[in-house]
A and B are shown apart, each in its own frame.
Chain A
Amino acid sequence: MNTFIELLVGGISAGAVYALVALGFVVIFKATEVVNFAHASLLLVGGFVIAKMHPVVGFWAALLLGVAGAAALGALIEFVVIRRANVAVHSVLAIVTIGVDLILVTELTRQLGTEVLALGDPWGSDVLQLGSVNIPVTRIAALIAATIVITAFLLAFKYTSWGVAMRASAEDSETAALMGVRRGRVSMGAWAVAGALAAVAALFMCVFPTPGLDRNVTAVAMKAFPAAILGGLDSTGGALAGGFIIGITEALVGGYQEELSFLGRGLGDVAPFLVMVIVLLIRPAGLFGTKELARV
């Protein structure tokens, strides 16, 4: 039972982090209809800046720099590539982001080499004991931070003029443009927000119990894709639900690996993808995604 609670808390916390990434993914999709395969590299950039800057300026300033850096990179990708690509088939835009991802990930993993960088977070490897249940402090910090960031995002999405502009152009971008919404600014803002969310997620993906920032972080970030799609690519609520489903599934399957060993080794890593395939079989648009309907 204790193991179960520990795994569940770990899973919820990891799920919150996946939800952050998936949320950024969904925001970009809503604003620009681009499926952003470069998301993993945004995450890697955020983590990299934090890891490189924290010995110089301290952890909190480095965190701010990392968030700012990833946001700036997101905005830059939108400005330099996405805005200028004149294609109507949106899967081509998705492939462009794959090109961007190839460039960024290759360069960053080259910089990283075989190093494992610490992020200098203040929580270290402390463990909180509640009765007989041991929970790393970082997991709780991740949960709290993700909750705060997600709440702030959802409030901004609902009440600020940026959020209204964003939702308006997601609903009908031409009408929104006619109403005076500046589409360029909206989509650039979406990419920047996604970058910032990814940087925060990067922090919590690389702290204890994981050893630190290394070249495998992008593989971890890949699991946010199923989170986004199983919730429904155009649904912010879906991204949250998807994140938690993926996080908890992965933690439980990974934790009970011994009992599940007849299914083979490394099941925890594929479980998110299996869940996604099953969900897509039943609901092709994801759990909360809007079904595409067309009037002829």
Chain B
Amino acid sequence: MSKIITVLWWVLVAAGVVIAPFYLDGIWLQDGLFAMAAAIGAIGLNLLTGATGQLSMGHAFFLAVGAFGYVYFASVPEDGGHGLGGLGLPTPLAAVLAVLLSGVAGGVFSPIAGRLKGAYLGIATLALIFIGHFVMSNATPVTGGHNGRPVPPMELFGFAFTDTPEPLVIAGVPFGALERLWFLGVALLVGAGLFARGVLRGRPGRAMNTIRDHEIAAGVMGVPVTRYRAGVFVLSSMYGGLAGVLIALVFRQTVPDYFGLILALSYLAMIIIGGLGSVAGAVVGAFFVSMLPSLFTRYSDALPLVAPTGQEGVGAAEAAQILYGLAVVVVVLFLPGGLFGLFTRLRLRLTRRTAPASPAKHALIPTPETRN
């Protein structure tokens, strides 16, 4: 019975996702795409922070590597003395290479990522943000310097994700770049989610959780702790790189300042709010955090305490930031398992299982202290 409901539920979600671009405005599609990109990045961070217990404040750096890597690989070099460089590779190849490049960047950092743990790694990865910003503002031929550079549109088997050349009309709706990218984003998100779920449910996921819960026990059981930490770090950087590529495609212009500390912090907020250690939690949190500012901006007239743009008082962006800061605190204090954990518990209560409602599977259950 419950299996049928689950299947129906998924069919409903899938139908909604397919129909969405036919009804939603461009601006909503864009927000949705950003949320999808954020979800991919957050899944990666959740593998690292949620499942393995390694804090990373440098996730924005890997997004930047992915975004600029894609732009550099795909762009045709400009002539002239101060022209922007590029390799002019086919765009799908460039995207794959950009993701690999992020993985390599994570691998270069792995001597540190493998040996440090928890919050220590958090501060160490903080360095990536600042070093990344320094490199991005100086490597002008690659990144375009302070103002960034335009992103070449993706082209897959002759199908271009652009507004031109010919207006593609499906069911009376003109399919521009955003509508086309929507489906690419969905495909990437589903693929990324399924892969991460496979990792988490299999042998590596169990090893990662053991490292988080009890490092020494993991080592005794034969888990190569250092190698696993470094490996998860590389994997999470590749997720970050993929998110970066998608963000670049949606933005159509990559700007170094975007990939700063605020972005890195918002990814941490996503996984905490959504729920640590699970794919669904990362997706829920990513949508919550990335939709919030634009919701506030659009409905600022109707909301109490939020001032309309251009007036005195708490602006929409600030209100959103304060709210998700608050959400992080509230979730940790009162909602172990995040929004997704809450959802699971509610569903358990609704279906009235005979078994007492147990906390979410990946909830933050207290673990024995790792002292000697």
Q: Which residues on A are within 8 Å of B, measured CB to CB?
A: 35, 37, 81, 84-96, 98-103, 106-107, 110, 222, 225-226, 228-229, 233, 264-267, 269-270, 273-274, 276-277, 280-281, 284, 293-296
Contact = CB atoms under 8 A, between A and B. Distances in A.
B25 interface: no
Interface stretch (B82-90, B192-200, B327-335): B327-335
Per DSSP, are chain B's interface residues mostly helix, strand or loop, or mixed?
Answer: helix
Nearest to B213: A89
Interface in B335-356: 336
Contact of B321 (A89, A93, A102, A280): A102
Contact of B119 (A81, A90, A277, A280): A90
A280 B329 contact: no
A289 to B, nearest CB: 9
Contacts of A281: 111-112
A98 B127 contact: no
Contacts of A100: 325, 329
A107 B137 contact: no
B322 interface: yes
Interface in B47-95: 49, 53-55
A270 B131 contact: yes
Given A93-B332, A264-B135, A277-B124, 6 more contacts: A86-B366, A91-B53, A229-B120, A266-B138, A273-B126, A277-B112
Contacts of B265: 98, 101-102
Contacts of B358: none
Contact of B364 (A88, A98, A101): A88
A293 B212 CA distance: 17
A98 B269 contact: yes
Q: Does more than half of chain A's interface fall in helix, strand or loop, or is it mixed?
A: helix
B268 A95 contact: yes
A17 to B, nearest CB: 19
A296 B367 contact: no
Contacts of A273: 126-127, 130-131
Contacts of B268: 95, 98
Contact of B272 (A35, A95, A265, A277): A95
B216 interface: yes
B166 interface: no
Given A100-B325, A264-B138, A89 B112 contact: no
A108 B333 CA distance: 24
Contact of A284 (B53, B115, B327): B115
Contacts of B34: none
A20 B351 CA distance: 55
B268 to A, nearest CB: 5
